[in-house]
Structure 1
């Protein structure tokens, strides 16, 4: 049973929605490789708004997913 999740909203600049869509399509493979990822959803809300959600049965899965997908500081 999944109790936690990591939602993300992505707003693309008007010239980049196709690139964002391609990035999310390619991210499916990364999500499938995550040990604690139960499911991974990506969606397009409108012309420039996208989102994804990573439900996980444990907080470890959510933290691991967010840490591995975050840009370097």
Structure 2
């Protein structure tokens, strides 16, 4: 995602500010890995995820966020 060709070609139009998205994903990477290896998330982990959700939501806007979620859900089923 952070490679310039990926960022410019796809993600910049969605997220706008690369540094916010990059920092937020870095914050939640440890939690993602923990869960992927069947370890339980702590309340602190949940608080970090909620904060990250809010950052991304505020960065791209609620309408665009919801649109992306709905698009992804429709591809799943």
User: How does the TM-score come out when normalised to structure 2?
Assistant: 0.32
Between Structure 1 and Structure 2, which shows a larger proportion of strand residues? 1
Q: TM-score, normalised by structure 1?
A: 0.33
Higher alpha-carbon Rg: 2
